[in-house]
Amino acid sequence: MIKKFVAGLSVLNYLGSLLFIFGFLIMLPALIHLIFPGPGISVRIISAFVGPGLLLISGSLLLTRRLPTKVPDILESMIITALAWMIVSLVSAVPIFIILKHSFIDALFEATSGITASGLTVFTGLDQMPPALLFWRSFMQWIGGIGILTFFLAVSFRGGSAAAILFNAESHKINSSRPVPGIFNTVKIIWAIYGCMTISAFFLLYLEGMTLFDAINHTLTLVSTGGFSTHDASISYFSGFRHGILIEYTMIIFMLMGGTNFLLHYKVATGNWRALYRDFEMRLFWALIIGAVLIIGVDIYIAVGEKFLSSWTNFHLHFRTALFQTVSVITSTGYTTRHLNDPYYPALAKQVFLLLMFIGGCIGSTAGGFKVLRLGILWQTLVSELKQLSLSPNAVIPLVIQKKIISPHEIKRICALLFAWISLIWAGTALTLSCTDLNGNQALSGMLSAVSNMGPFFFSTPELAAFPAVVKTCYIFGMLAGRLEVLPIFLLFARLIRR
């Protein structure tokens, strides 16, 4: 009993340390407001960020100084992870609630979508919003893209066994190697790559014609594959710019980088360029993108007819649209040059988008979804079982990927995650259908987008904003569960129900 009590206090100590750092982060938009004032009452906007920040810092000092700490076990680390993401989402919603004066459930929905880098939004009129609030939406996605606990470990300089357990609890649940020995060194490398991507994307977008404010915001949501924009029109807003096409291709490149395993970035940075096409997951990733672009392109060609090939300009427009949207969806970024519900996309193209929304990007990336590597493992498992049928019942065929044997335990865990993923999506879709006027395809796209941390869906933002609170709460749960890959959230609620 005493051990459980101490463990509970230790959990609060870790949460206090995280919230201490987050208290400073939440005050940063107040500085942005002084640089980019925009519309709105300055006092209310500044206090909306500074007030919660000061409360977090003072409250966290009480927790960290008076409570004991110990190395958490696996279950405790998952509980810390789940609670951290839930509390940070709640805190992040406060400035949105104060400034926009919408319902708190809308503010919480937006904050959860931001911190999980999902990109779903219930707000329109982004072009008229205060710049400080737009920056806060983007900054949340940048922090959450790589993981709030990963950010905490990097900033607090925490290493050792506790850091390793927390890192593994938040990162994608599959066995994978690290670039270097030591968890703190790994975190430093991840954030160094993330920082270089951020700086590079910012300078390119700014040089290509974006305003300073737009370049900052779109950089933060681009490398995090979050997809929040400062404009209701998303990336189509920049189509009329002088270098609008160049902006789209720049975004395609960085979306691909964000959706790629950061371990692969490290290999490429250290001279191993062959990993881009020799890695099992990357080969499947490229195949999915190329196949999807071809199917969507042919489907559009059948729909528009001769106009598709009437000129190079038309062909390039259709190709660029298909490529941009394919990359945006599979990397879970969610930017759009044409809304997914646009009649421009025929029925088959929309089904391909649904499939890509489920699959998502690579393991160890900022992308959401079920992950390409898991899909590859399940496919190889099917092939292995078919081979087994033609051999002796006693024959043993190990599942080997990248010269490594995938253990039965790993396959079992992937199957369990797949079942939980599909069950959660089905439950949310059923609830959406029972409480709204959407059709089956639209309801599926909404919950699938939430759980896979995608952003786009097959209905409009005003329709999403009009959802009843119970459906929005379901989406919030789905976004958190999808970001943490279901297990920590399920574990936390299972413990609460048992107690």
Mean pLDDT over 144-171 rounds to 60
pLDDT per position as a tens digit, 379-420: 998 888 888 887 777 777 788 887 788 888 888 888 988 998
Residue 121 pLDDT exceeds 60 = yes
Cα gap 198→332, rounded to integer Å? 17
Proportion of the chain above pLDDT 90, given as a percent: 54
What integer pLDDT is reported at residue 174 of this predicted model? 43
C-alpha closest to that of 450 among 413, 421, 490, 489 = 421
Cα gap 401→281, rounded to integer Å? 9
Residues facing 400 on adjacent strands: 405
Mean pLDDT over 293-307 rounds to 87
What integer pLDDT is reported at residue 6 of this predicted model? 42
Residue 149 pLDDT exceeds 80 = no
What integer pLDDT is reported at residue 153 of this predicted model? 61
C-alpha closest to that of 453 among 79, 145, 73, 175 = 145
Residue 246 pLDDT exceeds 80 = yes
Mean pLDDT over 434-449 rounds to 94
Span of 16-30, 61-75, 149-163, 477-491 with lowest mean pLDDT: 149-163
Residue 337 pLDDT exceeds 80 = yes
pLDDT per position as a tens digit, 90-104: 999 999 999 998 899
C-alpha closest to that of 367 among 376, 356, 377 = 356
What integer pLDDT is reported at residue 60 of this predicted model? 84
What integer pLDDT is reported at residue 142 of this predicted model? 94
Mean pLDDT over 65-86 rounds to 74
User: Are the beta carbons of 320 and 292 closer than 8 angstroms?
Assistant: no
Residue 5 pLDDT exceeds 50 = no
Could you tell me the end-to-end alpha-carbon distance of the chain, in angstroms, rounded to an integer?
14
**Angle between the N-to-C axes of helices 469-483 and 74-100, in degrees from 0 to 180, rounded to the nearest 10:** 140
HEC profile of the chain:
CHHHHHHHHHHHHHHHHHHHHHHHHCCHHHHHHHHCCCCCCHHHHHHHHHHHHHHHHHHHHHHHHHCCCCCCCHHHHHHHHHHHHHHHHHHHHHHHHHHHCCCHHHHHHHHHHHHCCCCCCCCCCHHHCCHHHHHHHHHHHHHHHHCHHHHHHHHHCCCHHHHHHHHHHHCCCCCCCCCCCCHHHHHHHHHHHHHHHHHHHHHHHHHCCCCHHHHHHHHHHHHCCCCCCCCCCHHHHHCCCCCHHHHHHHHHHHHHHHCCCHHHHHHHHCCCCCHHHHCHHHHHHHHHHHHHHHHHHHHHHHHHHHHHHCCHHHHHHHHHHHHHHHHHHHCCCCCCCCCCCCCCCCHHHHHHHHHHHHHCCCCCCCCCCCCHHHHHHHHHHHHHHHHHHCCCCCCCCCCEECCEECCHHHHHHHHHHHHHHHHHHHHHHHHHHHHCCCCHHHHHHHHHHHHCCCCCCCCCHHHHHCCCHHHHHHHHHHHHHHHCCCHHHHHHHHHHHHC
Span of 21-25, 46-50, 406-410 with lowest mean pLDDT: 406-410
Span of 57-66, 185-194, 283-292, 357-366 with lowest mean pLDDT: 57-66
Mean pLDDT over 253-263 rounds to 93
| Torsion angle (degrees, nearest 10) of CA 301, 303, 306, 312 | -40
Mean pLDDT over 199-224 rounds to 96
Confidence of residue 498 (pLDDT cuts 50, 70, 90): low
